[in-house]
Amino acid sequence: MSQNLKARLQRILGVEPRNPRRTTEEKGEEHEKTLCSWPDWQDAGYKVYKRVLSLPLPAALPSALPSALPVLIPDLATLGRLPRLDELVFFDLETTGLSGGAGTLAFLAAFGRFVDDSLVINQYLLLDYPGEADFVECMVRELAPRELAPMNDKDGSLPLVVSFNGKCFDSQILKTRCLMNGLPPPLYRHMDLLHPARRLWKRLLPDCSQATIETSILGLDRIGDLPGALAPEIWFSFLRSGENRELLLICDHNVRDITGLSSLFLALGEIASAPLESHNKFRFDMGALALAWIRALKKYPFMFAEGEKKIGRLLLEKAAADGYPRAAIILAMDAEWHLRDFSLALCYTETALASGEIPDSLREALERRRSRLIKKRGEKFS
C-alpha cells in the first residue's frame, strides 16, 4: 500500500497519520537522542529500524555448487537445476511465540546474501506494534523477485530462501503477517536445512538444533549468545521499559543464526563434493548418507555424473565396514541379484548379522538369506 493511500485512509477515518512529518526542532532532537542508543541502526519505516552488516565468509565459496548437493538437500532436486550462489537468501525470524497462529508476530528479521567475499546481512527490528505494517513491507521487499517471474521460475528470477525449520515456522509466520496486514505474501523458492541436518547427525548428537550442530560439528563459537527462546520475553520487556540492552543481544543472536546457517549450507556443499574425504571433518552418519545417495541415484539419475554414481557404492561399502547393517543388506541384495556373486552376498549378509543394531524380525530374515546363499553357492560350485 502506497504512503499516499495510507494517509488518505487515515484522514477518512479521522486517525492521525502514524508517521507524521517531524517539523519541530524538538522532535528532531528527540529522534537523534533515540538513535544514539541504537548504534549502526537507521530508520526503515514507522517504528522500524534497519542495520546492514558485512561479515567475513564462514568458509571459502566454491566456484559452483556440487552436482551431488541434491542428495543432501532434496529441495534442490525439485528445483530441477543447481542454483547460483547469488540466488541464495539466508532467512531467519525472531517472533513473540513458538506457535504459528494469528496472535504470533515477528519482531526481528534477518536476510543474508553472499556478496563478493562477504556475507551481507540486512536486519530489521520492529520497535512496537503500530509499526508492523512497515516491518512486513520491509520483509516483502527483501524477497522481491529480480523481475516479474513466472510461477514455475526456471530462470532464477525468484530468490531461493535458505532456512532452518523455516518451511514449518518462519515462512508460515511471514505469510500470516502479510495476510493480517493486507499484503500479498512474497513468492520465493525454499530450501530447508533442518531435515538434511537430522539425516546426517541425529544418531550422533543429543539434539539437532542449529546451535548444537554449529558448536559440535562446525566448530562455531556461541559463547555469550542469548538463547532464542528468550526472545519473546525480552521484546515484551523492551516494550514495557524501553531498555534495549538485552534486545540488542537478541539482534546479535539473530545475526549468529544467519552466519551459522550459511556455514551449515557450505558444509553440506563440501560433504556433497567429497563425502569420503570430509567424513573426519564433519563426523556425519556415513550410513545415512550412503542410503540417501543410493535413493537419489534411483530417483534422479539424470542429475549425477558417472563418477558420482560410483561414489554411492563406495559410501555403502564404507558404511558396511563401519557396522551399518542397512548398507550391508543393500550390498548383499545387489551382489545376489545383480552381480550373481553368492560368496560376496554371503559375506555382506554375515556383516549385517554381526551388527547388534538389527531387530529380531530382520535378523530372522537375514538368517534365511544366509541359508539360501549357502545353498546357492554350493549349487554353483557343484
In this predicted model, what pLDDT tens digit does every residue of 44-84 receive, in sequence order? 999 999 999 999 987 889 988 998 999 999 898 888 788 99
CB-based burial of residue 161 (10 Å sphere; 0-12 exposed, 13-18 middle, 19+ buried)?
buried
Backbone Cα Rg of the chain? 26
The CA distance from 195 to 208, in Å, is 9
277: pLDDT strictly greater than 90: yes
pLDDT of residue 22: 47
The answer to whether the beta carbons of residues 371 and 336 sit under 8 Å apart is no
What are the pLDDT digits (tens) for 215-262? 999 999 888 888 889 999 999 999 999 999 999 999 999 999 999 999
| DSSP class per residue in 71-133 | HH-HHHHHHTSPPPGGGEEEEEEEES-SS-STT--EEEEEEEEEETTEEEEEEEEE-SGGGHH
**Euclidean distance between CA atoms 313 and 308, whole angstroms:** 9
CA distance 279 to 13: 64
Burial class (CB in 10 A: 0-12, 13-18, 19+), 12: exposed
pTM assigned to the model? 0.85
- How many whole angstroms separate alpha carbon 177 and alpha carbon 38? 26
Residue 230's Cβ-count burial label (10 Å; 0-12, 13-18, 19+) is middle
What residues pair up with 71 in beta bridges, in sequence order?
none
Instruction: Provide the percentage of residues in the chain whose pLDDT is more than 70.
Output: 86
- Give the pLDDT confidence of 169-192 residue by residue, as tens digits: 999 999 999 999 999 999 999 999
Name which of 47, 35, 214, 23 is nearest 137 in CA terms. Answer: 47
Query: Confidence class of residue 147 from pLDDT cuts 50, 70 and 90?
Result: low
Full set of structural domains in the chain with CATH: 1-36 (no CATH), 39-279 (3.30.420.10), 285-381 (1.25.40)
- How many whole angstroms separate alpha carbon 272 and alpha carbon 291? 14
Amino acid at 382: S
Comparing 64-68, 121-125, 146-150, the range with the smallest average pLDDT is: 146-150
Crossing angle between the packed helical segments 245-273 and 194-201, to the nearest 10 degrees: 60
Mean pLDDT, rounded, for 88-102: 86
Distance CA 126, CA 41 (A): 12
